[in-house]
Structure 1
Amino acid sequence: MVEIVKAGGWLMAPIILCAIIAMGIMLERFWTLQQKRVLPDDLTSKVWNWVKENSLDHRQIQSLHQGSPLGQILAAGLINRDRERVIMKDSIEDTGRHVVHELERYLDTLGTVAAISPLLGLLGTVIGMVKVFTAITTHGVGNPTVLAGGIAEALITTAAGLTVAIPALIGYRYYRNRVDTLVVDMEKEAIKLVEALHRRQSYNKQSQKDS
């Protein structure tokens, strides 16, 4: 393996660096974007029970905000639960944009790695072929050993670049779709809470009028 890396020339260093970055991002996103970490089971139902029992306080809202991305969004709505529906919805949407930004963290870097890795491999190919033609000009084509180094460099860097780019691109596409799915699910949960709080608010107002 070490001999292959050496044969690929100095461009193998940035290609290996890209591989390390891509692997690190994919492992980190795999851990961060788990369903149970982003959308804990029955979180919305638990929050609604707090509201119905009038047991919701600042400490619970703070804990909810720190617990998960969905919790951050629900906490934004709960802070404004006694205000108008539009204000509550705007607060949730504003927090949602920050949450989405956090969920998409490092994905642009992963996409960049997927894009530049084959280009680095192509650059290695060009450099290797330049060495081949230089060797031909200097020594002719009679000695294949002279040409082998440039050809090996060209092929190894191309293969290495593609080896890094393909899984990086797959990971980028997968996690981008994963984020989109999670965002849609969080929107559904937030809408359910907003509608429930709005109905409760309307009911309380009607009860006050009747009394």
Structure 2
Amino acid sequence: MQDSTTVVSTATNAVQLQPEKQVFSLWEILTSGGIIGNVIMILIFLLGVLALYIFLERYFFLKRAAKETPNFLENIKDFVEEGKIQTAVDYCRTINSPESRMIEKGLARIGRPISDISNAMQNQGQLEVSKFEKNLNILASASGAAPMLGFLGTVIGMIMAFFEISNVTGAVSPKLLASGIYTAMATTAAGLLVGIPAYFFYNFLVTQVDRMVLKIQTHVNEFLDTLNKPL
């Protein structure tokens, strides 16, 4: 009887001595960095929201601007060849697209040297491109700032973790060291999770802007060729 009680007691003590298995919790890791870590996490989160907002706003803006008007340039050519300049100007105003605004500037200067017409259209083109590129610099900054903030949080977290370890007397527990390190590195992971998509968002939008500029320039050149066409 005594041996049985001893075995049960020994087994109970062995179970109690076994370390409790820690369950991985992303939320706990992200919020376990203390005041500084939480502030950096909030900043990274806000950058992520800002980057997503800019991407969606610019994407739908460029999508609307890229919408084609059937036979737009052909109609303009017909109006010019028939001498209906004011009709062509009114037609451009009804379209309200980047190409129509540039061609409207050119139509308003018909009768002047072709260089004046081209310069007026190019100036309007610069305004249109600036509209396309609005807030893209903020998106680019967010793609770079988020990982840098994350790395800053990791460095601060590592400093704090090793400071706590330096105050421990005796042997340092590997668990204490590991928990401090993975908590500190959580900010870097969060920064990369925001920075990488923001980087791809930025390059995607830049590509779309380049395509828009090329398309507009093609239409402008065709319009100028129409004006230079011998009668």
Unpaired runs of 5+ residues, structure 2, are: 1-25
2-side partners of 1:60 and 1:161: how far apart?
A: 49
Q: What's the CA shift for 1:89?
A: 0.4
Aligned partner letter, 1:63: T
1-side partners of 2:75 and 2:181: how far apart?
A: 64
CA contact (8 A) 2:85 2:107 kept: no
Q: What's the CA shift for 1:190?
A: 0.5
Mapping for residues 43-192 of structure 1, pairs under 5 Å: 43-53=72-82, 54=84, 56-57=86-87, 58-64=89-95, 67-140=96-169, 142-143=172-173, 146-147=176-177, 150-192=180-222
Quote the RMSD (CA, aligned, Å): 2.1
2-side partners of 1:88 and 1:39: how far apart?
A: 25
Q: What's the CA shift for 1:149?
A: 5.5
Instruction: Verify: 1:193 aligned to 2:223, yes or no.
Output: yes
Q: What's the CA shift for 1:147?
A: 4.4
SS in 2 for 1:183: helix
Identity over the aligned pairs, expressed in percent?
Answer: 29
Question: Using a 3 Å threshold, how does the CA distance of structure 1 residues 99 and 32 change in structure 2: closer, same or farther?
Answer: same
Question: Using a 3 Å threshold, how does the CA distance of structure 1 residues 45 and 93 change in structure 2: closer, same or farther?
Answer: same
Instruction: Verify: 1:19 aligned to 2:48, yes or no.
Output: yes
2-side partners of 1:93 and 1:114: how far apart?
A: 31
2-side partners of 1:177 and 1:70: how far apart?
A: 18
1:7 pairs with 15, 32, 57, which one? 32
CA contact (8 A) 1:118 1:158 kept: yes
Question: Using a 3 Å threshold, how does the CA distance of structure 1 residues 88 and 121 change in structure 2: closer, same or farther?
Answer: same
Q: What's the CA shift for 1:38?
A: 2.8
Question: Using a 3 Å threshold, how does the CA distance of structure 1 residues 150 and 46 change in structure 2: closer, same or farther?
Answer: farther
Unpaired runs of 5+ residues, structure 1, are: 204-211
CA contact (8 A) 1:22 1:113 kept: yes
SS in 1 for 2:112: coil
Summarize deviations over 1:165-199 as a string: whole Å, max 9, x none.
10111111111122112101110101101110232
- Bigger Rg over Cα: 2
2-side partners of 1:39 and 1:89: how far apart?
A: 24
SS in 2 for 1:15: helix
Query: TM-score, normalized by length of structure 1?
Result: 0.84
